[in-house]
Amino acid sequence: MCGIAGWIDWTQDLQTQRQVIDEMTATLVRRGPDAQGVWTSCHALLGHRRLSIIDLAHGAQPMASSGDEVVLTYSGEVYNYQVLRRDLQALGQIFSTLSDTEVVLRAYLQWGEEAFARLNGIFAFALWDERDQSLWLVRDRFGVKPLYYSLNGGGVLFGSEPKAILAHPQVQPVLDASGVAELFALSTAPTPGHGIYQGVHQVKPGHALRFDVNGRQDRVYWSLTAHAHADDPHQTAREVSTLLRRVVEEQLVADVPLGSLLSGGLDSSAITAYAADALKQHGRQLPTFSVDFTGGGQGFVPTPWQSSWDEPYAQLAAASLQTRHTTLQVAPEQVLEQELAVLRARDLPGWGELDSSLYLLFQQVRQHATVALSGESADEVFGGYPFFHDPQALAYDGFPWLAGKSGLWQLLRPEVATRVAPEEYIDRRYREALSEVPRLEGESPTEQRQREVTYLALTRWLPAMLDRKDRISMAVGLEVRVPFCDHRLVDYVWNVPWSIRSVAGEGKTLLRNATRDDLPGEIVERKKSGFPANPDPRYLELLRDKVKKLLIEGDSPVFQLLDARRVGELLELGQPLPSPRASSSPTAGLAYLLNLDQWLRQYQVDIRL
């Protein structure tokens, strides 16, 4: 899957700065443990770390055209690269490798910026064009692969992760008021393009940025559009099944071992069913993986976000689909031991035990596979989350997942809250998001609101989920693919009327109908159940003790932002801290506070409000 980094500067000769690009690129070694490459010219330094997936013996990067007219540093997979390769060969392009990397390079040489919309996959890449001294930064349609950039004097820095940019000697980690607002008010659904660190931005999903000596241009090569849906419910379910099966089969291409994440939920089970069936036709058995906690769910209490314990369903799905299944058992102490590794993976505060458990799971998967399929984004596409069906959330004049919810911003010190104005910030970002929603004339108010909520879920909520998945998987050199993010599937389902997507208030009715013949009935009818939080009371006590220690020591940088007195009061009362996540748990707020403290210390973040 790889990691990319670069420094472009039109005002100076960068060829004496080789050490800088080496250091920037080296920060991404976990994303690409197999090889490193650097390309230099007067005004461009490009770096690459490779995780070999396709054409293992070739495809070294950065990859340049003959004569070095155009140079590419690329992260991701283009699933239709073989089709594009044939088209390009017919047009006279000559290939020297079998890699999808060369297809991206030659597609640009043939079609220019029109090439970007022809790519079907998950990718983030930089193209340096020596002919006109321009840089393209391009990101896939849903932002599955990350890409950050920062303007720097007479040029631009970029990298797959913030750490690559922070490795540049002229960049310091600074947190300003908008960064605080993102971390404390919108951590579940961050603003597209915001990089949290002052001066650091993300290329937005579906966008291509062009930089040259005259400045920056932002091109949108893909976005959701609204149009009428003609198929009846039966035809719609059949089309979804056909599309999903085709997408999964396309995403099985790899020259390395492949597996699937299997929680026993509808989403991961559907992906696994189609993958297992496709591999079975070639005499191969699909490895699958799940995570469980010691105690087997003892102490588990159902919530709207987690209706049932995963492991029994994972075992049922694995047996029914005849996969080779492995379950990772996680103890509370193991979760805490992974905090620093997860922080280094994310470069930002994360989601506590949910991240650590996922990291441990991915470590286990990586021992058996280099590529894994995941069910991410099915809830956003098909309407699986509680806020799609909660009348209070749908009527709320704001992000629906925040309806009736207290937020961690309520613990900000008064002077910080005044400067950050978190509630005003949330409202402003919500209005911005609503202004983007494509409209379809003639829709009822109910359909209009569900279209809005789906758009918010796909463009605000989903990116945080994908970022978490990418960052933690790549920290162990594992590529995770997300078939439900295929834009053809999303384009189709996005315009399906809500009355077909959801019947009688049921989440994901359409997906259930599409997969009913392929999965056990218990899994088809299983209610939404998110990634499990650790129910072990020992874990809660460990977190409480660590926060109490911070309060006693009194020198934590997190209390430059949070009101220590209020935090102490809630601990004494035995009440949970407000959670940054919509799917709250007694441990979520505590874990986030500890993660914030560790991030501020480890990264030596300068708070400037």
Cis, peptide link before residue 422, omega less than 30° from 0 = no
Name the residue among 164, 151, 148, 175 with its Cα closest to residue 604.
175
Phi, psi of 305 (to 5 degrees): -95, -20
Q: What is the pLDDT of residue 303?
A: 67
What is the DSSP secondary structure assignment for residue 115, as one 8-state letter? Answer: G
Looking at the domain 3-174+191-220, which fold is it? Glutamine Phosphoribosylpyrophosphate, subunit 1, domain 1 (3.60.20)
CA atoms of 473 and 73, how far apart (whole Å) = 20
pTM over 0.75: yes
Q: Which amino acid is at 300?
A: F
CA atoms of 354 and 356, how far apart (whole Å) = 6
**Which residue intervals of the chain bear CATH 3.40.50.620?**
245-524
User: What CATH code would you report for 245-524?
Assistant: 3.40.50.620
pLDDT tens figures, 530-568: 666 666 788 889 899 999 999 999 999 999 999 999 999
Which of these ranges, 182-191, 307-316, 397-406, has the smallest mean pLDDT? 307-316
Radius of gyration of the chain (CA): 24
Q: What is the pLDDT of residue 296?
A: 59
**Which residue intervals of the chain bear CATH 3.60.20.10?**
3-174+191-220
Q: Supply the residues annotated as catalytic.
A: 2
Which has more confidence, 352 or 138?
138
CA atoms of 544 and 130, how far apart (whole Å) = 56
CA atoms of 298 and 300, how far apart (whole Å) = 5
Name the residue among 71, 88, 78, 171 with its Cα closest to residue 129.
71
Residue 484 has pLDDT above 70, yes or no: yes
- Both tokens of 447, joined, read 């359909």
Q: What is the pLDDT of residue 405?
A: 85
Which of these ranges, 221-230, 475-484, 489-498, 583-592, has the smallest mean pLDDT? 583-592
Residue 330: pLDDT band (50, 70, 90) is confident
- Both tokens of 227, joined, read 């149009």
pLDDT tens figures, 58-76: 678 999 998 889 999 999 9
Residue 604 CA, distance from chain mean position: 25
